[in-house]
């Protein structure tokens, strides 16, 4: 295939690009930064900003499939920044696809598009769950708005488009989520929120990349996939704090022993949000109300629709992924 991957230099994007290159696809990467290693491996690099419609449209030329992976992630920051990248950027990708006759679009969304504001235990939800009236953070809201635009294009037959919602992507190459957890644990600043028995979905990075390839193929062979969203995970939720302590133990880092209640964490988060907003601080607070709910509540989903429609089955199980992650973390810390 002739493919465009937005955000191809990021964690998931890079895993997807590597899989595409290995199977012989012609890959163009759209990114803000410079990634000479991807160019050496055979990818074409186009540097630009998703908010620039002309540059995005040019990147869509002569492409059969677009994987729109790029996004502004996080639980804190100016609302306008999230809107610019996640909403306007997606609108520009859709316009570029339609202008240049791109056949298929796979959009990388997030399960947080169905998370309501406040603490709600999510246990086994499927894609029938609606968008909430109020979101817990700007990231979730803007991803939901962008996803709806993609799905509407797929339903209206303007473009064969589908959305994937991988939850908590992890594995070797992660520069943010897991390294931050380990760093805070080493500093003694990681505190359990809630009882510690909450269960969550994880998605190993190779499993998430596989799901994108399957979605692109399904859009080619099954017209019913267009206009639909799919939850993606490793298929077996884990007990979050047990999983974190297992990882820390394997890395010879003391496990998390201190704990606070959800109510206390949410109160602290609300105060920190107010202070950061008043002082217009751009860095992310150590605690927010949204983060408190995520660290203490259940959030796992059914992947039966992805299994049925896409043929998705997680290839890497948790134990295999954990061993690969620990090996990578040890190598990177030693180098």
Average of pLDDT values for 219-228? Answer: 95
Q: Render pLDDT for 170-218 as a digit per residue (tens, 0 to 9).
A: 999 998 889 999 999 999 999 999 999 999 999 999 999 999 999 999 9
Q: Which residues pair with 44 in a beta bridge?
A: 28
- CB-based burial, 251-283: b 16+ in 10 Å, e otherwise: eebeebeeebebeebbebbeebbeebeeeeeee
pLDDT digits (tens, 9 = 90+) for 18-61: 999 999 999 999 999 999 999 999 999 999 999 999 999 999 99
| Boundaries of every domain in the chain | 2-170+201-236+299-315
In this prediction, residues 312-316 reach a mean pLDDT of 98
User: 244, 239, 266: which is closest to 254 by C-alpha?
Assistant: 244
pLDDT digits (tens, 9 = 90+) for 126-171: 999 999 999 989 999 999 999 999 999 999 988 999 999 999 999 9
Query: 199 pairs with which residues across the strands?
Result: 239
Residue 107 has pLDDT above 90, yes or no: yes
pLDDT band per the 50, 70, 90 thresholds, residue 335: low
The SS3 call for residue 309 is: helix
Residue 197: how many CA atoms within 13 Å on its side-chain side?
1
Q: Per DSSP, what are the bridge partners of residue 31?
A: 47
Decide if pLDDT at 316 tops 90: yes
Q: Write the pLDDT tens digit of every residue in 232-246.
A: 999 999 999 999 999
Between 289-296 and 262-279, two packed helices, what is the crossing angle to 10 degrees? 150
Paired tokens of 11: 């964690």
| Rounded Cα gap, residues 189 and 175, in angstroms | 19
Mean per-residue pLDDT over the chain, rounded = 95
CA separation for the pair 52, 55 (Å, rounded): 6
CB-based contact 96:88 (threshold 8 Å):
no
Burial (CB count within 10 angstroms: exposed 0-12, middle 13-18, buried 19+), residue 202: buried
Using a CB cutoff of 8 Å and minimum separation of 24, what contacts does 127-136 make?
127/228, 127/229, 127/230, 127/231, 127/305, 136/112, 136/289, 136/290, 136/293
| pTM, 2 dp | 0.95
HSE (side-chain half, CA atoms, 13 Å) at 211: 37
pLDDT at 123: 93
The b/e string for 207-224 (b: 16+ C-beta within 10 A; e otherwise) is bbbbbbbbbbbbbeeeee
Mean of the pLDDT values across residues 294-316? 97
Distance (Å, whole) CA 206 – CA 172: 10
Check: CB of residue 136 under 8 Å from CB of residue 116: yes
Tell me how crowded residue 134 is: count the other CB atoms within 10 A of its CB: 8
Q: If you ran DSSP here, which 8-state letter would residue 85 be given? A: I
Q: Note the pLDDT of residue 279.
A: 86
Active-site annotation, residues: 139
What's the fold here for domain 2-170+201-236+299-315?
A: Rossmann fold (3.40.50)
Which residues make beta-bridge pairs with 122?
A: 299
Q: What is the mean pLDDT of residues 297-307?
A: 97
Q: Has residue 219 got a pLDDT over 90?
A: yes
Which pLDDT belongs to residue 18? 97
């Amino acid at each position: 295939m002739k493919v465009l991957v937005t955000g191809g230099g990021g964690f998931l994007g890079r895993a997807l690009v590597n899989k595409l290159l290995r199977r012989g696809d012609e890959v163009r990467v759209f990114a803000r930064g410079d990634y000479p290693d991807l160019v050496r491996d055979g990818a074409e690099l186009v540097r630009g900003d998703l908010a620039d419609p002309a540059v995005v449209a040019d990147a869509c030329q002569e492409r059969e499939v677009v994987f729109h992976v790029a996004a502004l992630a996080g639980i804190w920051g100016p609302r306008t920044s999230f809107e610019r990248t996640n909403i306007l950027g997606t609108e520009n990708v859709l316009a570029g696809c339609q202008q240049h006759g791109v056949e298929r679009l796979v959009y990388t969304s997030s399960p947080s598009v169905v998370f309501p504001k406040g603490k709600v235990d999510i246990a086994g939800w499927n894609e029938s769950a609606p968008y909430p009236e109020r979101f817990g953070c700007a990231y979730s809201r803007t991803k939901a708005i962008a996803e709806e635009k993609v799905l509407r294009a797929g339903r209206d037959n303007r473009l064969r488009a589908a959305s994937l919602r991988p939850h908590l992507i992890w594995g070797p190459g992660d520069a943010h989520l897991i390294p931050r957890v380990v760093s805070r644990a080493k500093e003694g600043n990681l505190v359990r929120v809630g009882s510690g028995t909450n269960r969550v979905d994880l998605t190993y990075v190779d499993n998430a990349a596989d799901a994108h390839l399957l979605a692109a193929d399904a859009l080619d062979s099954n017209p019913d996939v267009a206009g639909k969203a799919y939850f993606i995970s490793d298929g077996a939720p884990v007990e979050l704090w047990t999983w974190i302590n297992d990882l820390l133990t394997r890395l010879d880092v003391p496990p998390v022993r201190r704990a606070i209640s959800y109510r206390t964490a949410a109160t602290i988060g609300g105060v920190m949000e107010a202070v950061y907003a008043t002082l217009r601080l751009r860095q992310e607070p150590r605690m927010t109300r949204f983060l408190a709910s995520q660290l203490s509540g259940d959030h796992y989903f059914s992947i039966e629709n992805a299994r049925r429609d896409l043929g998705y089955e997680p290839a890497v199980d948790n134990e295999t992924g954990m061993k690969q992650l620990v090996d990578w973390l040890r190598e990177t810390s030693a180098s």
